[in-house]
Chains A and B, each alone.
Chain A
Amino acid sequence: MEVASQAADELLASLVAGADIATLAVDSGWVLVQAEAATRTGAQANTQLRDQVFLLQGPDEEGPARAVIKLDDGYAVIQLDSVTPGELAEEDALRKQMYSRRISNASASTETLGFLEMLRKQSTIQVYEDRF
Chain B
Amino acid sequence: MKLEKWQELAALTDEASANNDIDSLIKIYKILQSELAKEKTAFGSMGIEWFQSSLTPDQWDSILISIKS
A and B form one complex: no
